[in-house]
Every structure is written in structure tokens, then in C-alpha cells.
């Protein structure tokens, strides 16, 4: 199964990630509606829109982990793009490279992920610009003020343990989990 997925990633890198990202967001919303909202009837429009938002957002994560972040690290650290964080020969971690990746994720990747998610979701689900403004006043502001509680750990784990071809998917799962947490906090207020 993993080999089939790897082959799809190699042959159709964007499309495979877009479908995967859509499935992650729609499955997360389905789970959220089941266990947190305890709905008897599901909001399939919202599930479909989460799929669409995931589909739309996937290229950002792919480009981030495969193009923007490596080029930025090369510029900042002056190291070749293929320099690993963990050197198997010396069994040492390149902490400067790990820390630089985490900082870039923290200050660029996650905030852009939040903007992509909230802007697209509110346009598609609520069909108005006022909902985007309301989301920025509440959920986006809260998220950007508090994501330091979870994202650095997620970023560190992703960079240390996740193979390159799965980094965008794991970042997507982390961001989706965070968004569900924020939605839960705001729905209980």
C-alpha cells in the first residue's frame, strides 16, 4: 500500500497530495462532528468544503517543504540542500538546521496555513466576506497568539522522524488537529 502511494506521489506529486489533504480535512471534520459536536445528522456541506479547502491548501505545503524552506535554509545557513538534520554516520543531530527549520515553520508555514484555511473555508461555507473578518477577529487571532503551545513540538517531530515525502501530510494533520482544537474552544464559549 505504501509503495502504491509512493508511486502516486512520484507520478502525480501535486494531485496525490491534494486528494490526500482533502481526505485529511474532511475526515477530521467528520470525526469532529461525531465526537465533539455529537451530531445526529452530519453537515455534509461542511465536510465537502473541508475537503475542498484541503485540496486547495495542499500545494502550499508541498511547495513549502520541497522548495521554499530548503532554498531559504540554503540562503540562511549556506549549507547544501541535501544536508540532513540527522547524520547517520556520526549519529549526531544538526541542531542549527533543525532549529532553523522549526523557526521557518513557526513564522512562515503555520501562519500561511491558517490564512489559507480560514479564508477559503469562510468564503466557501458562509459565502460572505464578513465571516472572514469575524474569523480573523476570533479564531485566527487566537490561533496565531497561541500556536506556540503545539506547533514547535509538531515541527520538531516532523523534521526529526518523518520521511521527506510525508512531511507535508504530517504538517497538514498537525494543522488540522490544531484547527479542530480551536474550533472546539470557540464552540464551547
Residue 80: is its pLDDT beyond 70? no
CA torsion, points 119, 151, 5, 47, in degrees to nearest 10? -40
Locate the domains of the chain by residue range. 2-187
* Per-residue pLDDT tens digits for 124-174: 999 888 999 999 999 999 999 999 999 999 999 999 999 888 999 999 999
For the record, the C-alpha cell of 160 comes out as 526529526
pLDDT > 90: percent of the chain: 74
For the record, the C-alpha cell of 25 comes out as 480535512
Mean pLDDT, the chain, whole residue set: 90
Q: How far apart are CA 133 and CA 161, in angstroms?
A: 37
pTM: 0.88
pLDDT, average across residues 47-76: 92
175 band by pLDDT with thresholds 50, 70 and 90: very high
Q: Which residue, chain included where needed, has cell 506556540?
A: 148
Q: How far from 22 is each of 56, 65, 180, CA to CA, in Å?
A: 8, 18, 15
Higher pLDDT, 39 or 1: 39
Q: Which residue, chain included where needed, has cell 544536508?
A: 83
Run of H or E including 167? helix 167-187
* Per-residue pLDDT tens digits for 82-129: 566 777 777 788 888 889 999 999 999 999 999 999 999 999 999 888
CA 138 to chain centroid, in Å, comes to: 20
Amino acid at each position: 500500500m505504501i509503495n502504491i502511494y509512493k508511486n502516486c506521489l512520484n507520478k502525480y506529486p501535486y494531485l496525490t497530495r491534494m486528494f490526500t489533504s482533502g481526505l485529511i480535512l474532511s475526515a477530521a471534520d467528520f470525526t469532529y462532528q461525531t465526537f465533539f459536536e455529537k451530531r445526529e445528522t452530519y453537515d455534509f456541506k461542511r465536510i465537502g468544503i473541508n475537503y475542498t479547502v484541503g485540496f486547495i491548501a495542499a500545494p502550499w505545503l508541498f511547495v513549502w517543504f520541497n522548495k521554499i524552506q530548503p532554498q531559504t535554509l540554503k540562503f540562511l545557513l549556506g549549507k547544501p540542500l541535501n544536508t540532513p538534520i540527522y547524520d547517520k554516520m556520526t549519529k549526531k543531530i544538526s541542531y542549527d538546521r533543525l532549529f532553523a527549520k522549526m523557526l521557518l515553520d513557526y513564522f512562515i508555514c503555520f501562519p500561511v496555513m491558517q490564512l489559507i484555511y480560514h479564508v477559503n473555508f469562510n468564503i466557501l461555507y458562509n459565502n460572505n466576506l464578513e465571516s472572514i473578518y469575524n474569523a480573523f477577529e476570533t479564531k485566527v487571532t487566537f490561533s496565531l497568539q497561541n500556536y506556540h503551545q503545539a506547533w514547535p513540538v509538531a515541527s520538531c517531530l516532523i523534521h526529526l522522524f518523518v520521511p521527506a515525502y510525508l512531511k507535508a501530510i504530517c504538517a497538514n494533520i498537525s494543522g488540522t488537529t490544531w484547527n479542530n482544537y480551536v474550533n472546539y474552544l470557540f464552540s464551547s464559549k
